[in-house]
Amino acid sequence: MAMLTVENLNVYYGMIHALKDVSFEVNQGEIVALIGANGAGKTTTLHTVSGMLPAKSGSVKFEGKEIIKTPGHQIVSLGMSHVPEGRRVFAGLSVYENLKMGAYTRKDKKEIADTLEMVYTRFPRLKERTRQLAGTLSGGEQQMLAMGRALMAHPKIILMDEPSMGLSPLFVSEIFKIIEEINKQGVTVLLVEQNAKKALSIANRAYVLETGKIVKEGNARDLLNDESIKKAYLGE
């Protein structure tokens, strides 16, 4: 069953037609990757789905409900979290305060406390730095914090935008391992990633975006072995 269905999405930046009839779906429990070159429209797609950008036309359905006109803060309450590109943690707040911000849509104090424990178990490094200001963390730790903050909303689906950007290879492997673990615990993942090889190695399915259009889709394993994909995105 499709958890997220995007149909014929058209988005403009001024005169620029950024997304052209983009359609894709994400089924419950999947990791779906969106890959493509810089400027292909990957981030724009995530921003439109999570209500941060208006669409000119098209449909975005989450669990069968049309959300194309729903404001972003209400979309979070429905069960969608977005980990933005560049992490965007609140630099002047502590790790703990950042995590609490992630739970702002939730009311049950005990459930919030339980989720916080789960996040600290998943990211022991954050527990060690709970009182530290987020702005003083390393890039990899800030990425973990952004992911932990998204999990605090207890989402059904997480949109992740370039989680490996600017991280050391060691941290990249760690972040991808965590994405797989989050998914195994029942959270569906829509992943935008410059590192196509890494993304395809953990995804179930993938879509390839080129200048605002989806030009290819398929099983992630098949795309990993596709000659044209290897040439264009895998540096082979």
Mark the ranges of the chain whose per-residue pLDDT is less than 70: 236
Half-sphere exposure for 172 (CA within 13 Å, toward CB)? 16
The residues facing 159 across adjacent strands are: 82, 190
Is residue 159 included in any domain, yes or no?
Answer: yes
* pLDDT (0 to 100) of residue 57: 97
Query: What CATH code is carried by the domain that includes residue 7?
Result: 3.40.50.300
Is residue 121 included in any domain, yes or no?
Answer: no
For the entire predicted model, the pTM comes to 0.92
159: which 2 tokens? 């949109």
Instruction: Please check whether residue 209 is in contact with residue 22, taking contact to mean a CB–CB distance below 8 angstroms.
Output: yes
Residues 51-67 have pLDDT tens digits of 999 999 999 999 999 99
Residues 93-111 have pLDDT tens digits of 999 999 998 888 888 888 8
Report H helices in the chain.
42-49, 72-78, 95-102, 109-122, 124-128, 139-151, 169-184, 196-202, 220-224, 227-233
State the residue range of the domain holding 36: 2-88+155-233
Is residue 127 included in any domain, yes or no?
Answer: no
* pLDDT (0 to 100) of residue 236: 60
Is residue 209 included in any domain, yes or no?
Answer: yes
Is residue 210 included in any domain, yes or no?
Answer: yes
Q: Which residues have a Cβ under 8 Å from the Cβ of 199 and sit 6 or more positions away? A: 33, 35, 191, 193, 206, 220
Strands 2-13 and 16-27: antiparallel
How many structural domains compose the chain? 1
Angle made by CA atoms 84, 86, 90, in degrees to the nearest 5: 80
* pLDDT (0 to 100) of residue 85: 85
Is residue 107 included in any domain, yes or no?
Answer: no
* pLDDT (0 to 100) of residue 140: 86
Is residue 103 included in any domain, yes or no?
Answer: no
Is residue 109 included in any domain, yes or no?
Answer: no
Give the span between the Cα atoms of 78 and 64, in whole angstroms: 12
Residue matched to tokens 């702005």: 135
